[in-house]
Amino acid sequence: MSTRNEERFAGLLTEAVHTIKRHTSKPIAAVQDELMYALGRETGNPVEYWRKGHIPASQAEFVQLSRELVVRGNLSREWLHRFWGCTDFVGLVEVERELFPAQETARQSLPQRPYERLVGREELTGEILGCLIDEARKGLVAIDGMGGIGKTALAYAVMEQALHGGAFDSAVWVREDAAGPGEGLTYAGTLNAIGLGLGLRDATGRGIAAAEERIAGLLRAQRILLVLDNLETAAEPQAQIAAQVAELLGPHSRALLTSRQRFVHGVYHIHLGGLSSAHGGELLRQEAQARGVVHVAQAGPEELARIVGQTGGSPLALKLAVGQLAYQPADVVAARFQSVRLLQEETDEYARFYRSIFFPSWKLLSGEGRQLLVAMSHFAPGVGGTFPALKAAAGLPIDALAERIDELWRLAFLEIGEASVSSIRYYLHTLTRHFVLSDIVQMG
Ligand SMILES: Nc1ncnc2c1ncn2[C@@H]1O[C@H](COP(=O)(O)OP(=O)(O)OP(=O)(O)O)[C@@H](O)[C@H]1O
Ligand SMILES: [Mg+2]
């Protein structure tokens, strides 16, 4: 425990005792005695001792102390965070939930689940989760691989399991556009986004060093999983941001990163490849069934394997292929997806290749379908908009809108997600949006 933390602890405890004194109009000694009894001690008042900068050695006693102080002094959530930030104890989230039940927790900042059922990534999910909870292996894990290969989907699955299994108290998801639309992520932007996820407004308002201290304190006091998605779009080198974030994590928190750019040094990373032939076939069948493309849903394994082989097992390509297979013969569709496989080892030139597989789907769209798709490209990728927002943006009447949404979905241009139980959101994948905004569409 650093002296600095002990000093901060002493300061915060004293502040709390004084606040209680003011609220109750009792002398300090009486406040401290009452605390002592509440903590189940009869003699030798520990509060006075702790106020000299001795942090309780027992977590149970620290938890009890935090509780008593917050309740008696009507102290803020912010104070509680700072108090825990002086220690290495875990369990802040439970205490926080108990003391501030009406407040939103960090979970609210998480994105919508990007798939209905994740196919063929069970082993990898387990492997990554294993690394993240391995006490001996501190720090972060990265997933790299080409666009559309399933990095975000995998990261989401890992996060969901990590939270459900109780391995982490909560998660903070940092989106590529956290710094603002079109602006690459920076370390300062990352700090702000992490701060927001942890309930701090304008974390960097008092400078980077102050933000680092507050955030590191919170990450020490809880088991938080940070997810930094799409680091290839960052305005600073991804390895640099990764190293800086690793410094903040403390003993219990971890970070999971994704990028189209390969990680090279110092980061435990998994290079994500396409789905196996069997799993790719399963995804094709699943998507075909959902979209009502009967002949694909019922196709034999060899026929499906051929398409999976052509796409290199890229889930995004497979979804687009299903959309096209509803209208065109399998060999025509399969031939066009060859470009995706060639891309497996390249990471920068993906856009050109994807155009060659998006464009045929574009050509299958009706005029109104295109109008809606272009309107949707103005929403943030991965976030999208609600039905009324889509209506306003596309300028289509209600009946036409519903039909066009179905059309875009059938061709796998559009994703449907649940932001909450009562609200459905429609959004585009980053690559789809990229395609819609590209010259090929603008001129077409
Ligand atoms: N294993 C899977 N099972 C089912 N759907 C999947 C799977 N992997 C990915 N998908 C779906 O395929 C699409 C592309 O995946 P995802 O967005 O995760 O790719 P990505 O690698 O993160 O791409 P980018 O580099 O553009 O961010 C998404 O709609 C996603 O939900
Ligand atoms: Mg992604």
Q: How far is CA 292 from CA 258, 286, 338, 368, 416, in A?
A: 33, 10, 25, 21, 16
Q: How far is CA 314 from CA 134, 248, 319, 348, in A?
A: 30, 34, 9, 16
120 lines ligand 1 (CB under 6 A): yes
- Can you give the pTM of this predicted structure? 0.75
**pLDDT score for 443:** 60
Q: Which residue's CA lies nearest to atom 4 of ligand 1?
A: 118
**pLDDT score for 444:** 57
280 lines ligand 1 (CB under 6 A): no
Ligand 1 centre distance from Cα of residue 430 (Å): 10
153 lines ligand 1 (CB under 6 A): yes
The answer to whether residue 131 scores a pLDDT higher than 60 is: yes
Interstrand relation of 423-427 and 415-420 (parallel, antiparallel or unpaired) = antiparallel
431 lines ligand 1 (CB under 6 A): yes
381 lines ligand 1 (CB under 6 A): no
Q: Around ion ligand 2, which residues have CB less than 5 A away?
A: 152
Nearest to 121 by CA among 171, 83, 157, 88: 157
Q: Specify whether the CB–CB gap between 89 and 221 falls below 8 A.
A: yes
Q: What is the DSSP letter of 119?
A: -
**pLDDT score for 146:** 85
3 or 252: which carries more pLDDT confidence?
252
**CA gap 317, 337 in Å, rounded:** 7
Q: Which residue's CA lies nearest to atom 8 of ligand 1?
A: 150
Ligand 2 centre distance from Cα of residue 179 (Å): 17
147 lines ligand 1 (CB under 6 A): yes
417 or 35: which carries more pLDDT confidence?
35
Give the ligand with the smallest distance to the CA of 428. Answer: 1
Give me the percent of the chain exceeding a pLDDT of 90.
44
369 lines ligand 1 (CB under 6 A): no
Give 284-304 pLDDT, tens digit per residue.
Answer: 999 999 888 888 888 888 889
The answer to whether residue 91 scores a pLDDT higher than 70 is: yes
Give me the CATH code for the 109-271 domain, please: 3.40.50.300
The answer to whether residue 370 scores a pLDDT higher than 90 is: yes
**pLDDT score for 105:** 46
Ligand 2 centre distance from Cα of residue 125 (Å): 16
178 or 349: which carries more pLDDT confidence?
178
Ligand 1 centre distance from Cα of residue 115 (Å): 8
**pLDDT score for 341:** 63
Give the ligand with the smallest distance to the CA of 433. Answer: 1
**pLDDT score for 107:** 45
Mean predicted lDDT score pLDDT of the chain: 86
260 lines ligand 1 (CB under 6 A): yes
Give 191-227 pLDDT, tens digit per residue.
Answer: 999 998 888 877 888 899 999 999 999 999 999 999 9
Residue 145 CA, chain-centre distance (Å), reads 17
Residue among 112, 113, 115 to mutate when testing ligand 1 (max atoms within 8 A of CB): 115
Q: Is 155 helix (H, G, I), strand (E, B) or coil?
A: helix
Angle, alpha carbons 416-419-423 (nearest 5°): 85
Per-domain residue ranges of the chain? 3-103, 109-271
**pLDDT score for 106:** 44
Give 98-112 pLDDT, tens digit per residue.
Answer: 888 754 444 456 888
Q: Specify whether the CB–CB gap between 194 and 226 falls below 8 A.
A: yes
415 lines ligand 1 (CB under 6 A): yes
Residue among 152, 231, 262, 320 to mutate when testing ligand 1 (max atoms within 8 A of CB): 152
List helix spans (H) across 292-349: 294-297, 301-311, 315-325, 330-336, 338-342
| Band (423; pLDDT cuts 50, 70, 90) | low
Ligand 2 centre distance from Cα of residue 428 (Å): 12
118 lines ligand 1 (CB under 6 A): yes
